[in-house]
Structure 1
Amino acid sequence: MKSKRPVTEHQVLLQGFLEGSVLGLARAISVVENERDGFQDLLHKVMTSGPQTKRVGFTGPPGAGKSSIVAAAATAYRGLEEHLGIVAVDPTSPYSGGALLGDRIRMNDIATDPGIFIRSMATRGSLGGLATATKEVVDLMDSFGFDRVLVETVGVGQTELEVTAAADTVVVVLVPESGDAIQAMKAGLMEVADIFVVNKADRPGAPRLVKELRQALHLRSGRALR
């Protein structure tokens, strides 16, 4: 009688993932994020079809309030009974090498919602506003079956456009003080953004920022905007 082969850690992880275990998802993300042995095989096994989940990326300058906008959007989507995955890219801690969990702290109001899974990722020196494995983690959340995945970047400049590879819809969050950033973004985010949000609009300069955005978008599209 042949003896059974021992069950590997990845097989247990894969089974949990396919059964809808949040712990299985969290472990799968860790394997992929840290590029542990077998991570590519794991990705291949769980990604049985093309993208099914709506993916929304939130980007913009540091301090624009992206986390607050993401939390508000998540609350609205939960009102539609959608189950959400959120990837929040944070700066890397110089001590642990992990993510500084600023985004998770600012999302306290939604962090305990059982219909929302939040994962923070450290940039670990990666440029472009995302962590190296962000797109793969979004793919995992897609395969897990979330209705929508929200991706928040760490804060961007004109060349940091990686969010477009991880999201179908790109939301750029700005504040009245971002006026000078419009010029820098004309050759970058202005070309790929789908939605602009002027946050903290009660501050001085908000109407001017909206006007500058309209002018920039008019030049991009060649038609008048209301």
Structure 2
Amino acid sequence: MSRQKNFLLNSSNNDNDNNSATSEAIDSNNPTDELLNKARRLRQEISAIESSKLQAQNEKDVQVQAKLAAEEANRQQNEQVRLRYSAIVPILKDMGEEVMERVDFPPRVKGGKSCIVTVQAPLPLGLILSEELSTPGLIYVDSLSPDGNGSNAGVQEGDVLRAITACKVTMESPTWQLLAGGIGRPKTKRFMYVVDGRPLEEVLDAVGSNRMDSLGRDVWLVLERME
């Protein structure tokens, strides 16, 4: 009888152990824990994606800023070149008025070490112009009087003449006079004469035409000068 009781007691202990193991297995497979783990992993993945997006956006912003900086540097460089090879001079408009405008004069002297300067001086200028034989149409200051108006205004030997004011006579008439068959009356207008490619004789005539200016204004000279 005692052996049978012992057997029953042992059997009861085994059942308790099995129940405990089963309970632990259930706890380890708890749906709540599994959902929490999935939520944690999802948050980590989202955080990694957001970090990747932020890094990509930062890299894109850096590239955009670098591009803008390069474009601004290029713009400033182009503006410096334009200011170097341009001048504000009097321009005759279609209606006859004279306005001051900036005009570009691309360099004719090779090497990139020249610049455009303007000089205003009254006649006579006291300078001698010559044509460069190796470059037809390139007119330069061959020599000038030390005390002449051109020298006193800042003209230097070797300056390349790019443009100069000149005067021309035009016939102008009011509309009513034209309708009546009138001829009109002469009027002298001053304009900017571009020297590039012009023969020396024509350039000299343009210089002398400034004597026709009824207002007696100074002659404008646009010069390209080596620095």
User: Could you say whether these structures have the same fold, taking a TM-score greater than 0.5 normalized by the shorter chain as the test?
Assistant: no
Higher strand share: 2
TM-score, normalised to structure 1, is 0.25
TM-score, normalised to structure 2, is 0.25
Which structure has the larger Rg over C-alpha atoms?
2
